[in-house]
Structures are given as structure tokens and as C-alpha cells.
Amino acid sequence: MARPKKDTTPKKIHVRKGDTVIVLSGKDAGKKGKVVRTLPTSSRVVVEGVNMIKKHMRPTQQVMQGGIINQEAPLASAKVMLVCSRCGKPTRSLAKTLSNGNVVRACRQCGEVLDK
């Protein structure tokens, strides 16, 4: 029987690279960090200092020193929530249209524009 093909279409993620987020569930629940990378095809994000794993590295041309290194592993984007820069509370983003016609993300609590 043939294996079903993996869906590789990118999905929309509610956070972007550089956003500050808080982890909602799992072993790192309550930790805050900055989004380092987004993986839209698998709906996952890499957050700075969260979901740390130990990786065994072999010495190569790029990494002369082998051994065990700590690095961040991706976690599901549904497990993180955006944190407002002004009020500091976790919030769901709100689409707001500016006077010049641009659509930006805004905080639901205080109305602060989250996009730079």
C-alpha cells in the first residue's frame, strides 16, 4: 500500500520572526522568548531559549570541535502566544487598517500596532 504524500503547502502562522512570544503548554510553559525562525510548512516555530535539546555533533570542516551541543528545537505554533510590547500581556492579534490602507497586526487589549 502506498504511503500518503506529506502536505508541503505553507500554512499561515500567527507569529513572525522577531516577535516576543510566551509558551502556553509543555515542559517550557510560561517561558518568554523571541521567535528565531518560522517553519510554515509544518506550522512550527523556533523560540530563543525554549525547547532546548542536546545534539551530538561530529567534527566537520565547519565545526572543528565535536561533542554535545545545546540547541533550540521547533515547537508547534499553536503552543505559543504573541506578547504585546506595550502592555506586556499575551494577546491574540487583531487586523487593523491604517489610514494609508496598510493592514497591520494590533494588540486586542491596548490597540498597540505590533508590526514595525
Nearest one of 48, 58, 42 to 22, comparing CA atoms? 48
Give, for all 116 residues of the chain, the pLDDT tens digit: 788 988 889 889 999 999 999 999 999 999 999 999 999 999 999 999 999 999 999 999 988 888 999 999 999 999 999 999 999 999 999 999 999 999 999 999 898 999 87
> What is the reported pLDDT for 6?
82
pTM of the predicted structure, to 2 decimals: 0.83
> Which CB contacts under 8 angstroms, 24+ apart, belong to 48-55?
48/72, 50/23, 50/75, 51/26, 51/27, 51/75
Give the CA distances from residue 22 to residues 29, 37, 94, in Å, rounded to whole numbers and listed in that order: 8, 15, 17
Q: In terms of Cα–Cα distance, which of 29, 28, 31, 35 is closest to 14?
A: 35
Got the DSSP string for 37-74?
Answer: EEETTTTEEEETTSSEEEEEE---SS--S-EEEEEE--
User: 42: how many CB neighbours lie within 10 A of its CB?
Assistant: 15
- The pLDDT value recorded for residue 8 is 84
